[in-house]
Amino acid sequence: MSIIGDVKRLDLVTRLDWIGTAVRVQFGRNPSLVLGGALFVLLVLVSVFAPLLTDSDPRRINGIVRLTSPGGDFLFGTDNLGRDMFARTFFGGRISLIVGVSVALIASIAGLFFGLIAGYFRRLDSIIMRVMDGIMAIPGILLAIALVAVTRPSVGNVIMAIAVTEIPRVVRLVRSVVLTLREQPYVDAATSVGTSTIGILHRHILPNAMAPLIVQATFICAAAVITEAYLSFLGAGTPSEIPSWGNMMAEGRIYFLTAPWIVLIPGGFLAAMVLSINIVGDGLRDMLDPRMTKEL
SS3 call for 71: strand
Q: Which stretch binds another protein (CB under 8 A): 60-68, 87-95, 203-211, 239-247?
A: 203-211
Helices (H), the chain: 2-29, 31-48, 50-53, 85-120, 122-136, 140-150, 155-181, 185-192, 197-199, 206-233, 245-252, 261-288, 290-295
CA dist., res. 97 & res. 280, Å (int): 15
- Report, in Å, the least distance between residue 30 CB and another protein: 13
Closer of 169 and 204 to another protein (Cβ): 204
Instruction: Indicate whether 191 belongs to the interface with another protein (CB under 8 A).
Output: yes
The pair phi, psi for residue 278, each rounded to 5°, is -65, -40
Q: What residue type is assigned to position 148 of the chain?
A: V
Instruction: Indicate whether 4 belongs to the interface with another protein (CB under 8 A).
Output: yes
Q: Answer yes or no: are the C-beta atoms of 177 and 119 closer than 8 Å.
A: yes
Q: Answer yes or no: are the C-beta atoms of 167 and 135 closer than 8 Å.
A: yes
Q: Binding residue for another protein (CB under 8 A) from 45, 139, 196, 268?
A: 196
Closer of 54 and 195 to another protein (Cβ): 195
Q: Which residues pair with 77 in a beta bridge?
A: none
Instruction: Indicate whether 72 belongs to the interface with another protein (CB under 8 A).
Output: no
Task: Scan residues 21-60 and list those touching another protein (CB under 8 A).
Answer: 25
Q: Binding residue for another protein (CB under 8 A) from 64, 123, 194, 257?
A: 194
- Report, in Å, the least distance between residue 14 CB and another protein: 8
Q: Binding residue for another protein (CB under 8 A) from 59, 66, 203, 285?
A: 203
Q: ∠ CA 39-250-242 to the nearest 5 degrees?
A: 70
Q: Binding residue for another protein (CB under 8 A) from 54, 62, 195, 240?
A: 195
- Report, in Å, the least distance between residue 100 CB and another protein: 28
Binding site for another protein (CB under 8 A): 1-8, 10-11, 25, 184-186, 188-196, 199, 203-204, 207-208, 290, 292, 294-296
